[in-house]
């Protein structure tokens, strides 16, 4: 006996069959509006949700402050690396530099921090922005304390040093302000 060959299978092209596609989407529950009025393109986006709900609402001026900080850190780092004598002279008004090595190490550390600042400028992740702002606030706070202690030891006081101390306090306040603003939970609408 000869075995009967089954007929060739016909594949249905559901991609081109519009009615079949619409039925499938209706069964899956995608393509139509949900209770919130959102239209989901796929089941995955329906399950995971809309990513616009999770975007960080940035406080006004945050990106400008991040840019100014990155430029400030980079500029002082380059000055400390290339011109350590002039940087020391500006801060301590005519005091003699005993060694350039600590100033250049300071410049290297600032350059490393400035790279973090530049990278944080381009991120949207809340935790990275907050850690960067906290790093800035700690740096400026420590710098304020070190310069104040150095002035107390040496007894040298100049207008440049007072301006440096005042600017460091201002920078601490601004960084802490943005740190708390980025960390706040958004109001429910």
**Residue 98 counted as domain residue:** yes
What pTM was estimated for this model as a whole? 0.66
Domain count, the chain: 1
Non-local CB neighbours of 26 within 8 Å, separated by 6+ positions: 32
Per-residue pLDDT at 50 = 53
**Residue 27 counted as domain residue:** no
Per-residue pLDDT at 75 = 94
For residue 130, the enclosing domain spans 62-183
**Residue 11 counted as domain residue:** no
Q: What is the pLDDT along the chain (189 residues), one digit of tens a residue?
A: 567 777 776 666 655 666 666 677 677 666 666 655 555 566 655 555 555 445 557 889 999 999 999 999 999 999 999 988 888 777 766 667 788 888 899 999 999 999 999 999 998 888 999 999 999 999 999 999 998 998 888 887 778 788 889 999 999 999 999 999 998 876 665
Asked if 133 contacts 175 with a C-beta cutoff of 8 angstroms, the reply is yes
Per-residue pLDDT at 140 = 94
Helix axes 62-82, 84-92, angle to 10 degrees: 110
What is the Cα–Cα distance from 29 to 42, expressed in whole angstroms? 9
**Residue 53 counted as domain residue:** no
- Averaged pLDDT of the chain: 81
Asked if 69 contacts 117 with a C-beta cutoff of 8 angstroms, the reply is yes
**Residue 125 counted as domain residue:** yes
**Residue 20 counted as domain residue:** no
**Residue 42 counted as domain residue:** no
Q: DSSP letter string over 15-44?
A: TT-HHHHHHHHHHHT-SSB-TTS-B-SSHH
Per-residue pLDDT at 120 = 92
């Amino acid at each position: 006996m000869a075995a009967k060959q089954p007929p060739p299978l016909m594949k249905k092209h559901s991609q081109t069959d519009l009615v079949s596609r619409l039925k499938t989407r209706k069964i899956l529950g995608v393509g139509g509006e949900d209770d919130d009025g959102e239209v989901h393109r796929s089941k995955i986006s329906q399950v995971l949700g809309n990513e616009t709900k999770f975007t960080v609402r940035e406080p006004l001026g945050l990106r400008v402050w991040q840019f100014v900080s990155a430029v400030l850190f980079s500029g002082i780092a380059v000055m400390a690396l290339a011109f350590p004598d002039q940087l020391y002279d500006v801060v301590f008004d005519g005091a003699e530099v005993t060694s350039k090595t600590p100033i250049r190490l300071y410049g290297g550390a600032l350059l490393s921090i400035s790279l973090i600042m530049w990278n944080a400028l381009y991120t949207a992740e809340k935790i990275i922005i907050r850690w960067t702002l906290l790093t800035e606030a700690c740096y400026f706070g420590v710098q304020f304390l070190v310069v104040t202690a150095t002035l107390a030891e040496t007894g040298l006081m100049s207008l440049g040093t007072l301006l440096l101390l005042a600017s460091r306090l201002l920078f601490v306040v601004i960084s802490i302000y943005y740190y708390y603003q980025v960390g706040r939970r958004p109001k429910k609408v």
